[in-house]
Amino acid sequence: MGYKPGRCLLTKRLREIKRSQQWLADVTGIPKSSISEYANKKRTMSIATAMTIAAAVGCYIDDLYERIEVSSD
């Protein structure tokens, strides 16, 4: 058994703290285009990026993506 990232919850997390993707880009130095790609599941965040975003947003890395269980068959 293992897991893979499902739907990105970044937009939801930003709404919860009443902040925008532009704010996140300004605070983290991550390009807004990259943040948009993460939010729209065009790209998956690296662990380092997820750590940076989670710290800025005030959540855990696990709060940035839904978890999908995958079998090891």
Q: What is the CATH number of the domain that holds 37?
A: 1.10.260.40
Helix, strand or coil, per DSSP, at residue 38: helix
What is the model's pLDDT at position 26?
98
In the chain, how many domains are there? Answer: 1
pTM higher than 0.75: yes
CA geometry: angle at 47 spanning 73 and 2, to 5°? 15
What is the model's pLDDT at position 73?
61
| pLDDT tens column, 18-72 | 999 999 999 999 999 999 999 998 999 999 999 999 999 999 999 999 999 998 7
What is the model's pLDDT at position 33?
97
Distance of alpha carbon 73 from alpha carbon 32, whole angstroms: 38
Q: Which domain holds residue 49?
A: 2-70
